[in-house]
Every structure is written in structure tokens, then in C-alpha cells.
């Protein structure tokens, strides 16, 4: 096969969570992270929201970086957003990914519609890595991991939703 032909062949899409990588220990989560993982287990994307200034924040933290309040609540969000940035990994460092030949895979930073700058790190499924693009509309979906079925991950799939609609 020539190099030109190789460029025209699409990589296979990710269809689920990566296997064999470290996962959160649900028994030992700090309180300020628990709502996120409980929400995912219930197929809800929950984001921490400051009770002082109403700012969403992710990753969850015990104190608001904007107003320094220690009070927060968990808010269910739509799960709609756009790809803010992404990378396609073709040469993995983690041995489980190499051994199970789980490449290529993407790591995508998704900006959620609820607030500018509200971003979660995840994967985009069901699309060839070469077809992912910045500002691509996506929607959350939830999948249990193979290694620990009690850990349910929020992942994203392409959607017809438009942030300008």
C-alpha cells in the first residue's frame, strides 16, 4: 500500500471506554467528588456549582476558585457541548493500552453549553479520530467500564445539536 493510500484509510472509531487503565476508587472518594460519580452511575452529568456565586466548576474542588466559598451543590447539566480541543493518541504510554491494541484513541476536552469555560475531559465515541474537529457538537452518553462495572464514565458522541441554534 502506498503512503497516499494510507492517508485515505480512516482509523477505527472508539466504541467504549479504554480497558486496563486506572479508575477512581468509589469507596474512597472525597466528598467533593462523590456527586459527579454518583451522577454518572445514574446516567446524569452532574457538575459542581458554587452556592456563593453560581459558577459551575469542573474538576470538582472543595472551594470555589472565583469567590472562595466552601458551599456547593451538584447540578444536573444538559450534557450538550462542543469539542474545545482534542488529541489523537497513536503511541500510548500505558502498557494496557498497548497490549490490548486500543489505538488510536482520542482525548477530548468538551466545553459544555451551560457556561463558557466549563470543560470536561473525556473521549468522543463512534467517529473516526480523523473526523473529530474543534467546535464539533457532541452529547454525553454513559458507559460502565469493562474492568469495574460500577464505574460509569461520561463519554461523548457526535450530535446534531448546534450551539448557535
Question: Per residue in 77-136, pLDDT tens?
Answer: 999 999 999 999 999 999 999 999 999 999 999 999 999 999 999 999 999 999 999 999
Among the residue ranges 23-32, 96-105, 138-147, 154-163, the one predicted with the least confidence is 154-163
Residue pLDDT, tens place only, 15-26: 999 999 999 999
Report pLDDT for 45. Answer: 98
pTM: 0.91
- Whole-angstrom distance, CA of residue 61 vs CA of residue 154: 19
Give the percent of the chain with pLDDT over 90: 90
Amino acid at each position: 500500500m502506498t503512503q497516499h493510500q494510507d492517508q485515505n484509510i480512516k482509523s477505527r472509531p472508539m466504541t467504549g471506554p479504554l480497558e486496563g487503565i486506572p479508575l477512581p476508587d468509589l469507596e474512597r472518594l472525597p466528598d467533593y467528588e462523590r456527586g459527579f460519580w454518583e451522577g454518572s452511575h445514574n446516567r446524569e452529568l452532574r457538575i459542581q456549582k458554587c452556592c456563593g456565586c453560581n459558577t459551575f466548576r469542573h474538576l470538582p474542588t472543595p472551594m470555589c476558585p472565583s469567590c472562595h466559598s466552601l458551599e456547593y451543590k451538584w447540578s444536573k447539566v444538559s450534557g450538550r457541548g462542543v469539542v474545545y480541543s482534542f488529541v489523537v493518541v497513536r503511541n500510548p504510554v500505558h502498557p494496557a493500552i498497548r497490549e490490548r491494541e486500543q489505538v488510536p484513541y482520542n482525548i477530548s476536552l468538551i466545553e459544555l453549553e451551560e457556561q463558557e469555560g466549563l470543560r470536561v475531559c473525556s473521549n468522543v465515541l463512534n467517529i473516526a479520530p480523523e473526523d473529530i474537529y474543534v467546535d464539533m457538537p457532541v452529547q454525553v452518553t454513559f458507559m460502565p467500564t469493562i474492568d469495574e462495572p460500577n464505574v460509569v464514565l461520561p463519554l461523548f458522541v457526535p450530535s446534531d445539536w448546534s450551539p448557535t441554534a
